[in-house]
Amino acid sequence: MTPTPSKQTEMEQDIQSSQSSEAAAKAVLLEECEQQFGLLQKLQNEIILADTEANDDQTNEAVNRLIAVTSELEQWQEMEPKLLTTSPEVLLAVGKEELQRLNGQLKMVLSCSQAKLDAQKKILKREQTWQAEKKEALNAVCEKITRLQSENEKSEHSVLQDMKKKINNLKDYHSSLMEMLSDMLAEHFPLPDPQGNGTKKKRAAAYDAEINLISLSEIIERLTNKTLETPHDPYVTTDDTFWPPYTEMLLRNGIATRHPEDCNKIRLENFF
């Protein structure tokens, strides 16, 4: 649908008026620029004059800086904020641009600070776990210290009592070991039974002479007693009361050894 002629002219008028207002705004801006540039030229000429008059002879930089900063400060204090121009279109365009730029910069700042925050949080967590571990270690060590201290603070009486307890324990253990040994020996190494060996002719003659055989436990007892009581002479003379197979067994299993010169003497073998 083509717009009616009146609307068309209206639109044209609108376009023309906006164009003219644009041109007017541009003209205003150019005017401002020219003014500022004229001011700049004037100031520049003044500076050049001042330079040629007083040639700088390398005064102290810090003093220079101080002078510059104080003069700038004065300028800022005197200056009053003023609009660039009163034309609304110009202001609108400038404002839009500024705000967009500011938006972009603020987004960058936001992402940067968030990244920093995340990094700091990670560090915090790590440090917290480290601290927890160290605290645990500290607690354990403190407990151990208190325990050791309490142990060290025992009186003589308690030391004596501990000693007595230990001795009693050892005695009980010793007696139980002995009991077990004798039970085992009695069970597995009994005295040879005169009736158990079948009917051989030797039997009667042999066993009549050796009727007072001593048991293996007796042999072992004699050996140990001799060793403990007379360590310089631990030899026990084997005689007929020792049943030969038992002595042979002791010798072969390394529990006893013969005297190097006398084959009738045996002693308990060294044990470690």
Partner 1 sequence: MALLTPYSKVPELNTATVLLVENEEELQSKLANAIVQYEKDFNVNVRLARKLPLPVENKETRPRIDLIVFIVNLLSERSLQSVESSLAHLHSDCFLGKVCFLVTDARCGSHTQERLVSVRKLAASHQCPVICAEHRTADGVNAAAVRLLNILKVTAGMSPIATTALYLSSLTRCSVTSDLEED
Q: Which of residues 28-67 bind partner 1 (CB under 8 A)?
A: 37, 40-41, 44, 47-48, 51, 56, 58-59, 61, 64-65
Q: Which is nearer to partner 1, 47 or 186 (CB)?
A: 47
Closest distance between partner 1 and the C-beta of residue 41, in Å?
Answer: 6
Question: With b meaning 16 or more CB within 10 Å and e meaning fewer, what string describes 23-60?
Answer: eebeeeeeeeeeeeeeeeeeeeeeeeeeeeeeeeeeee
The answer to whether 21 and 89 have CB atoms below 8 angstroms apart is yes
160: left (phi over 0), alpha (psi -120 to 50) or beta: alpha
Is the separation of the CB atoms in 267 and 235 below 8 Å?
Answer: yes
Single residue of 11, 69, 110, 170 touching partner 1 by CB under 8 A? 69
Give the residue with the Cβ less far from partner 1, 97 or 240.
97
Nearer to partner 1, 69 or 142 (CB): 69
- Which residue type does 75 have? Q
Residues in the chain: 272
Place of tokens 């001042």: 50
Q: Cα–Cα distance between 154 and 209 in angstroms, integer?
A: 64
Give the separation between CA 11 and CA 4, rounded to whole angstroms: 11
Among 10, 31, 32, 72, binds partner 1 (CB under 8 A): 72
The mark string for 94-133 relative to partner 1 (x by CB under 8 A, - otherwise) is: ----x-----------------------------------
Least separation in angstroms between CB 36 and partner 1: 11
Closer CB to partner 1, 98 or 183, in the complex:
98
Question: Smallest distance from the beta carbon of 68 to partner 1, in angstroms?
Answer: 5
Instruction: Taking the CA atoms of 234, 238, 239 and 244 in sequence, report the sign of the dihedral they define.
Output: positive
In terms of CB distance, is 1 or 63 closer to partner 1?
63
Encoded tokens for 254: 């390394």
Question: Using the rule CB under 8 A, which residue among 15, 68, 99, 184 binds partner 1?
Answer: 68
Q: How many residues bind partner 1 (CB under 8 A)?
A: 17
- Nearer Cβ to partner 1 (46/172): 46
DSSP state of 58: -
Closest contact distance (angstroms) between CB of 72 and partner 1 is: 6
Could you identify the residue written with the tokens 């600070």? 113
Measured from the CB of residue 3, what is the shortest distance to partner 1 in angstroms?
Answer: 40
CA 193 to CA 215: how far, in whole Å? 11
How many other CB atoms are there within 10 angstroms of residue 79's CB atom?
8
Q: Which is nearer to partner 1, 65 or 171 (CB)?
A: 65
**Residues in the site for partner 1, rule: CB under 8 A?**
37, 40-41, 44, 47-48, 51, 56, 58-59, 61, 64-65, 68-69, 72, 98
